Amino acid sequence: MRNNIVAGNWKMNLTRDQAKMLVEKVLSGNCRKNIEVIFAPSFINLYKIAKMCSDHTSFSVAAQDCSANKKGAFTGEVSASMISSCNAKYVILGHSERRLNFNESNDDLKAKISQVLSNNLEVIFCCGESINQRKESTYFDWIESQLSESLFHLSKKEIMKVVIAYEPIWAIGTGMNASPEIAQEMHAFIRGLLSSCYGTKISENISILYGGSCNAENAQTLFKQKDIDGGLIGGASLNSKNFLKIINSF
């Protein structure tokens, strides 16, 4: 059975104290059992937050990116092995902000995925179309190319270490979430692609998260959809009350 997951992508927000306070409030709040909760802080808070979560089995941390290189003269970069040594479980890769602002290509992501998996970490792989691709009805082809060019070379064992996050770019940080029907349609399409490449059994065991203006108000109707297994939450994950409400939306 695939996991229900709520992941908070903090992006470039929260100082050390603010991060600690937010996590304390979430950990001491009332969370539904059997939901995997992930915090994705900045690199400098990774170790601290992982430590705070270490006694809480359903909580873990994710880095927001990693280097495509193993180690060496790459000033400012953070390697997958460093992330692993901070006791993180996941690395978010392919977020549209990184694809757009840092020109990350599907090939770059393929290299990063290889680093992540070879350091015993798991991947939260983001995909999503622009507003123009949505209007021009090229979004299915686009998502298929993002997945096939970065992920579908993986073995069956490796793909089981991947969580997919569908995040339409037009919904990120805009307050304009995809309707549950639109999101479900894409999630079912993604699961279908997984099934053609890896078989039904594996496709049914991979969690597919929705991201893009998911909040305490709309999470429940989104999470009710058959192929939506949770959310990758940006803005609404920065407030403990909202985040707890989202966790309890299943």
Q: Catalytic positions, please?
A: 95, 167
Picking from 78, 44, 74, the residue whose alpha carbon sits closest to that of residue 61 is 44
Tokens read off for 217: 């108000």
Nearest residue to ligand PGA on Cβ basis: 234
Residue pair 244/19 in contact by the 8 Å Cβ criterion: no
Picking from 235, 234, 212, the residue whose alpha carbon sits closest to that of residue 64 is 234
Measured CA to CA, the distance from residue 191 to residue 168 in angstroms comes to 16
- The least CB distance from residue 20 to ligand PGA, in Å, is 22
H/E run at residue 112? helix 106-118
- The least CB distance from residue 167 to ligand PGA, in Å, is 6
By CB under 6 A, the residues from 123 to 162 that bind ligand PGA are none
By CB under 6 A, the residues from 171 to 200 that bind ligand PGA are 172-173
206 binds ligand PGA (CB under 6 A): no
Considering the complex, state which of residue 7 and residue 83 has its C-beta at the smaller distance from ligand PGA.
Answer: 7
DSSP state of 217: T
- The least CB distance from residue 72 to ligand PGA, in Å, is 30
Considering the complex, state which of residue 230 and residue 234 has its C-beta at the smaller distance from ligand PGA.
Answer: 234
Interface pick for ligand PGA out of 53, 117, 178, 214 (rule CB under 6 A) = 214
Question: Please, what's the b/e burial string for 32-51 (b: 16 or more CB within 10 A of its CB; e: otherwise)?
Answer: eeebbbbbbbbeebbbbbbe
Tokens read off for 239: 């407030």
By CB under 6 A, the residues from 7 to 46 that bind ligand PGA are 9
Query: Hey, is 90 helix, strand or coil?
Result: strand
Interface pick for ligand PGA out of 41, 94, 168, 212 (rule CB under 6 A) = 212
211 binds ligand PGA (CB under 6 A): yes
Considering the complex, state which of residue 154 and residue 165 has its C-beta at the smaller distance from ligand PGA.
Answer: 165
Q: Which residues bind ligand PGA (CB under 6 A)?
A: 9, 167, 172-173, 211-214, 232-236
